[in-house]
Amino acid sequence: MSMKLLNFKALITIIALISATVPTASARECYMPTESCLCNDNLRYEKPKYQQRVEKRRNSWLNIMPRLFTLQYAGDIGMVSAGFGWNYGRSKQWETHALIGFLPKRENYSHYWTLTLREIYNPWRIGINGRCDVTPLSVSMSLNSILHGDFWVSEPDRYPSGYYGFSSRMRFHIGLGQRFTYLIPENKRYLHSKISVYYEVSTCDLYVRQKILDKSVPLKDIIALGIGIIYTL
Amino acid sequence: MTLITTACDNFEYHPYSIKIHGQKDINATTIEQLETAGIKAPFKFAFITDTQGALSDMNTALDLIKQRGDIDFIIHGGDMTDFGLPKEYVWARDMLNNYGIPFLTIIGNHDCLGNGEDTFKTIFGPENFSLNIDHVHIVGLNTVALEYDYSRPVPDLDFIENDRLEVDNINAAHPDSLTHTIVAMHSRPYDEQFNNNVAKVFNYYLSKYPGMDETTYDRQPSDLPEDLLRCPRGFCINGHNHSTSISDIFDNGILYYQCANMTKRTFFIFTITEDGYEHEVVEF
C-alpha cells in the first residue's frame, strides 16, 4: 500500500515539474503579439511580468536545443553511433555529445545498443582563408553504457559484496583526435553552418588497467580508431 | 598495406564486441590432435590456471614448460581473462599458440563476465568436453554455477552421465581400455561459485568414472601427505581459489589438486603412468 502511495506521489511530483517547465498553449498565445510589445518599447512600456517569465522560459528551452549532430563509425562505442550535442565556452571550445550506438550480431554475440555521453575539449582552432578551419587537437572523455541484461552497473545480489569490484556495463574512454571543419558559405546553408570530419584514437579503462599491470600487451591492441562527421547549426 | 590492415583492425566497435581473428574452436582441434597422436603412458601434462591478465607470468610459465621438452599438452584451468573481454582471450590464446604445445581450456567465472561466455564458446568451443588419451579419460567441466545464478544446470550432470555411459560402452567393447579418469574444473565443490546443492551428487557421479572408486586405492602418488595416502588413481584438478592445496573433499579418496593463480607463479606437472600418476608443483 505504502509503495503504491509513494509511486502516486512521485507521479504527481513529475507532472507538477513538467507543467511548471513546459510553456502551455495559452502562454504561447499571449506571447505571440511580440511586435506590439516592441513598438511600445519607446513608450517605456514594460511587458507584463507573466509575459517576461514565459519569454525567459522559452529562451532557456531554446538554449538547451541541440546545436550539433554527430555520426560516428567505430571508436569503441558502437559500429555506428548517432547523436546530438551542444557547443559552449568563449570560443565554443567545449562540446558535450550524447550518442546512441548500434553493435551488430557477431558470431555468438547478440546485437547491442549503447549510450554514450561525451565531453570534448578543442583548445585551438586554426582558420584557413575563412572557408575552413583545422582543430589540431581534440581531447575527449566518454562514458559508454552497453544496454543488455548480460552487463551490469553494480554486481547483482547473488555475488558476495565486492566480488568483482567493477562494472561490466559502464566503460570510460579517453581519446585524442583532430578535426577538419568546412564553413558553409552563407548563401549555401540549408540547416547547418559547418560540417566537420574527425578521427579519434581512444582507449578504455579496462585496457589501460591491463597495460599498467602488464606492459607486454602491445599498445596498438589497446587503441581503437573512430571516424565521424559533425553538423553544427 | 600492413598499415592499412592494422588501421582497419583498430576500427574497434566495442571492447565487448570485436571481430575475432585466428584460431577458433580450439578445444575440439586439440582433442582431435591428442586422440589421434597415439600418445602412450607415461605421458605428461601441465596445469596452469587463473591468468587474469598476468600475461608476463604466464609467458614465463610457458617458457619453463617448453624448455622441459617433455610436456604433451597443457590444461588451462579457467579465468584466462579478468573481465571476459574478447581481447583478453585473444592475448592469452595467441601466447599459448606461440608455444606449439596443444592446450585445453576450462571456463572460469571471470571468463563469463559480460558476454565472455560467448567469446569462450567461439574461441574454445563447448564448456564441457572430454577426451581419451591411452587408458586415461579426461573431462573438462564448467562448474561456475554462481555466474548463471543457478539458472542453468552447472555442473551439467546429464553431460557427466552421458559421458560416463560412453566410457562404459568403450570399456564394454574393449575391456580395461579406460582405467583412469582426470576431471578438470575451475571451481571445486563447496566453493562459493559451485552449486553446492549438488556437491554430493557431483561427487557420486564422478566416483562412477573408471579409476575413481575404491578398487584402485593402491595406486597413489608417492609424495602425498600421510592422511591422503589412500586414494584412487583418478583425480580432480581445479583453480579459482588462488592457492595451492591437495584435498580429499568428500573423504572418499578422490583428491582435488588445486593450483594457485598465475601471479603466484605456480603450475602443476602431472605424469600419468601405466598404473598411477605423479604430481609435481613447479614454483618459479
Domain harbouring A84, CATH code: 2.40.160
Find the helix or strand (DSSP H, E) in which B267 lies. strand B266-272
State residue A107's pLDDT score.
Answer: 73
Residue A217 has pLDDT above 60, yes or no: yes
Q: Are residues A44 and A104 in the same domain?
A: no
Q: Are residues A40 and A144 in the same domain?
A: no
Q: Are residues A117 and A209 in the same domain?
A: yes
Structure confidence by residue, pLDDT tens digits, B213-223? 866 665 556 66
Average pLDDT, chain B: 92
Q: Are residues A42 and A100 in the same domain?
A: no
State residue A106's pLDDT score.
Answer: 84
Residue A38 has pLDDT above 80, yes or no: no
Q: Are residues A171 and A84 in the same domain?
A: yes
In chain B, what is the straight-line distance between the N-terminal and C-terminal CA atoms, in Å? 42
Residue A129: inside a domain: yes
State residue A198's pLDDT score.
Answer: 97
pLDDT band for position B151 (cuts 50, 70, 90): very high
Residue A134: domain span: 68-232
- Write out residues 9-38 of A within 8 Å (CB-CB) of B: none
Residue B275 has pLDDT above 90, yes or no: no
Q: Does B15 touch chain A (CB under 8 A)?
A: yes
Q: Are residues A210 and A118 in the same domain?
A: yes
Residue A14: inside a domain: no
Residue A37: inside a domain: yes
Region of poorest pLDDT, from A79-93, A105-119, B254-268? A105-119
Q: Are residues A36 and A74 in the same domain?
A: no
Q: Are residues A72 and A45 in the same domain?
A: no
Alpha-carbon distance values, B19 to A108, B12, B81, B125 (Å): 11, 8, 17, 17
State residue B137's pLDDT score.
Answer: 97
Cβ contact B135:B171 at 8 Å: no
Residue A216: inside a domain: yes
Choosing from A9, A34, A59, the residue where a domain stops is: A59
Cβ contact B30:B129 at 8 Å: no
- Portion of chain A with pLDDT greater than 70, in percent: 81
Cβ-Cβ contacts under 8 Å, A166 against chain B: 83
Q: Are residues A28 and A120 in the same domain?
A: no
Residue A203: inside a domain: yes
State residue B156's pLDDT score.
Answer: 97
Residue A107: inside a domain: yes
The pTM of this model reads: 0.87
Q: Does B98 touch chain A (CB under 8 A)?
A: no
Q: Does A102 touch chain B (CB under 8 A)?
A: no
Residue A17: inside a domain: no
Cβ-Cβ contacts under 8 Å, B149 against chain A: 156, 158
Mean pLDDT of B211-233: 70
Mean pLDDT of B105-122: 96
Structure confidence by residue, pLDDT tens digits, B39-94? 999 999 999 999 999 999 999 999 999 999 999 999 999 999 999 999 999 999 99
Q: Are residues A173 and A201 in the same domain?
A: yes
Region of poorest pLDDT, from A181-190, B40-49, B63-72, B121-130? A181-190
Q: Are residues A129 and A55 in the same domain?
A: no
- Write out residues 243-282 of B within 8 Å (CB-CB) of A: none
Choosing from A9, A35, A59, the residue where a domain stops is: A59
Cβ contact A140:A177 at 8 Å: yes
Work out the number of other CB atoms within 10 angstroms of the CB of residue A121: 13
User: How far is Cα B27 from Cα B93, in angstroms, rounded to an integer?
Assistant: 11
Contact between A213 and B113 using a beta-carbon 8 Å cutoff: no
**CA A52 remoteness from chain centre:** 30
State residue A13's pLDDT score.
Answer: 64
**ipTM score of complex:** 0.91
What letter represents residue A127's amino acid?
Answer: G
Q: Which of A78, A150, A222 sits opposite B14 (nearest CB)?
A: A78
Q: How many domains does chain A have?
A: 2
User: How far is Cα A212 from Cα A222, in angstroms, rounded to an integer?
Assistant: 11
Average pLDDT, chain A: 86
State residue B145's pLDDT score.
Answer: 97
Q: Does B126 touch chain A (CB under 8 A)?
A: no
Cβ contact A217:A197 at 8 Å: no
Enumerate domains of chain B plus CATH numbers: 25-283 (3.60.21.10)
pLDDT band for position A29 (cuts 50, 70, 90): very low
State residue A22's pLDDT score.
Answer: 46
Q: Are residues A104 and A45 in the same domain?
A: no
Mean pLDDT of B166-193: 96
Half-sphere exposure (Cβ direction) of B160: Cα atoms closer than 13 Å: 25
